[in-house]
Amino acid sequence: MNDATVPPMSDVIRQQLDLPPLDQVGFVVRDLDAALALYEPMFGPFSTMEPGPMSYDYRGAQAECEMKLAFGRSGDVEIELIQWLRGDCPHKEFIDAGREGMHHLRFRIDDLEASVAAAETVGWRRIWSKRYGEGLAVAYLERAGDALLLELFENLHG
């Protein structure tokens, strides 16, 4: 089967990349307070994180951004709401493209570099990443023709 004929994030791709079940769905929103008012009746209470500067590797260079974040749950799946505030990052690209809504799907993996390498063999490309320490890292990947990003999250500590 040609990868161009596979629907985005089909089970075929999940199997090719040896990904576990979906762990998180991330939404980029223009107004976090409005999004919380909309989604808390559906998912229950969210916990929020105070914004602060974050430094990541973004498209091959160091970049700093700031976002307001909120986290809720639907069963085993985390729901993340993200309001971009400043700086260069994939979330700004999403807003600048006139989008709002589902932004990425996250999968917890054991080895970020091995998972990124496997994804690159089937057309994904790392655009945003950070290693926080041993066993804790994150990367966003994109592929041509697909607005939905793939987030790979290595967390060997919990």
Which CATH number belongs to the domain containing residue 70 in this structure? 3.10.180.10
Q: Whose CA is closest to 36, among 99, 78, 83, 1?
A: 83
pLDDT score for 17: 85
**Structural domain includes residue 14:** no
pLDDT score for 5: 61
pLDDT score for 8: 58
The pTM of this model reads 0.89
Phi then psi dihedrals of residue 110, to 5 deg: -90, -25
Q: What is the pLDDT of the chain when averaged over all its residues?
A: 93
Indicate if the pLDDT at residue 21 is higher than 50: yes
- Residue 97 falls in which region: left (phi positive, over 0), alpha (psi -120 to 50) or beta: alpha
Beta strands in the chain (DSSP E): 24-28, 47-49, 53-58, 61-74, 77-87, 101-109, 125-133, 136-143, 146-155
Residue 41 structure tokens: 């009746």
**Structural domain includes residue 139:** yes
Q: Which residues contact residue 126 at a Cβ distance below 8 angstroms, ignoring those fewer than 6 apart?
A: 116, 120, 139, 140, 141
Q: Could you give the number of structural domains in the chain?
A: 1
**Structural domain includes residue 9:** no
Indicate if the pLDDT at residue 11 is higher than 90: no
**Structural domain includes residue 59:** yes
pLDDT score for 1: 43
**Structural domain includes residue 12:** no
**Structural domain includes residue 66:** yes
- Over residues 56-106, the pLDDT tens digits come to 999 999 999 999 999 999 999 999 999 999 999 999 999 999 999 999 999
- 66 within 8 A of 51, measured Cβ to Cβ: yes
> Cα(130)–Cα(100) distance, rounded to whole angstroms?
24
> What's the domain range around 83?
21-155
**Structural domain includes residue 11:** no
